Every structure is written in structure tokens, then in C-alpha cells.
Amino acid sequence: MAYFNTKLAKSRELHPIDVYILQIIHQNRTDDMSEDLILIMDDDSLKRLNAFGLMEMIKGTKKMNEFQRLRLTKKGKKYLSDFQTYDIVENDIKLFDTLKKIYVDADKEVGSEKKTKELIAWFRNETAFNHKQMWLIAKKFVQDDDRMEYSKMLEKVFWSSTNHFQTQPKLEDSKMWIYYEKHKDWFDTEFKKMK
């Protein structure tokens, strides 16, 4: 069973049932999910998903009914991916999108978007940094020439395993956390200016 981040969905003014409907529409691409959609989709969900531009109707064939022709838009696929990412909030996604742009512009590798977003949420929860503080640390870290070897891939900026057996992130193994601690006085001074 997939994880659904209903807190994020609510922050985007969607209901938990809308997340489930997005998943069913996603599956509708390869399997006929029209009967399930008929059962669970009401007028309110239809209006919300249309208002946010999360679904569209393909041309299909003459034999297909309206529910068989439903598909996710590019935005709908992105929303569904976000909703399946554990514990992220809107600002985590904004931080990821900004860092991703920096990486793409610099012809650097991004890695797994989902894993990177999860690591951003993990780092935020572990450190209790707010998003402005995280942005400052991440920006300095990825632009530091001495840290270049650790920032070649965005996915590894927040945490990277030290061996093949390590599956759970630990703050003391985070290169960005180590970077923060090395420059703690400077960062803490900057954090005070942000208040």
C-alpha cells in the first residue's frame, strides 16, 4: 500500500479522497478503473480536481466512457508524487524545486526527486531548522568549491549512506550537517539576522 501525505493534500485544499482518486486515475492509464471512479468520484471532487488542473480527458475511442478517458495532467502526476512522499510540506517542495533549478542550470545530476524530498523533510525534522535556514545552509553547501565532491548529485546533499548496509539516515553522517557545524558561528549569526 502506498503512503499518502494527506496533510500536504489538505494544505493544497484537496481532500484525502482526492488523493485516492488521483491514484485511481493514474492506474486508469493501464487498467480500466472506470467502475471504481464512478463509485468514489462525486461532483465536488470532480470540480476540485478540474479547478487545480490535475486531470484531463483523452480523446480515446468511441467505445470508451468519460471515466475511462480520464488521465492525470503533468501537474496531477507531480501532485500525486508529492502526496506519496513521506512527511513533506509545501516549503520542502519549494526548497527542492529551487535547488533542482540550480543543479539543472549547472549541468549537475539531481538523482531521485522523491528520495531528495524525503531527505529534505528528514533533515528539517532532525535539525528543527526553518526553511529559510535550510535554504541558506544548502545554498552555501552546494556552492562551496571544497564541498564539490559531496554536492555532485542533489540527492546526496542532505544525506548519503556511508556503506551499503546503512539504510536509515543519521544526522552525524549528513555532510550538510557537518558543514553547518564547521561554520556554526557564521550561520547562527546569519540566522539571527533573519528574525
Q: List the grid coordinates of 62.
A: 468511441
What is the spatial distance between Cα 87 and Cα 89, in angstroms, rounded to a whole number?
Answer: 7
| Architecture of the domain spanning 6-83 | Orthogonal Bundle (1.10)
Q: In the 8-state DSSP scheme, what is residue 87?
A: T
- The confidence score (pLDDT) of residue 150 equals 62
- Spatial contact of 119 and 158, defined as CB atoms under 8 Å apart: yes
Residue-wise pLDDT for 84-126, tens only, equals 887 889 999 999 999 999 888 888 899 999 999 999 998 998 8
Q: Is the pLDDT of residue 148 over 70?
A: no
For the chain, the structural domain boundaries read: 6-83, 90-194
pLDDT band of residue 190 (cuts 50, 70, 90) is very high
Mean pLDDT confidence for 75-81: 92
The structure's pTM equals 0.74
Q: Sorting pLDDT into bands at 50, 70 and 90, what band is 149?
A: low
pLDDT at residue 91, as a whole number: 92
Nearest alpha-carbon partner for 155 in 174, 170, 183, 171: 174
Q: Is 67 helix (H, G, I), strand (E, B) or coil?
A: coil
pLDDT 10s digits, 158-176: 888 777 776 778 888 888 8
Query: Which residue's C-alpha cell is 555532485?
Result: 152
> What are the b/e assignments for 85-109, b being 16+ CB within 10 Å?
bebbbebbbebbeebbeebeeeebe
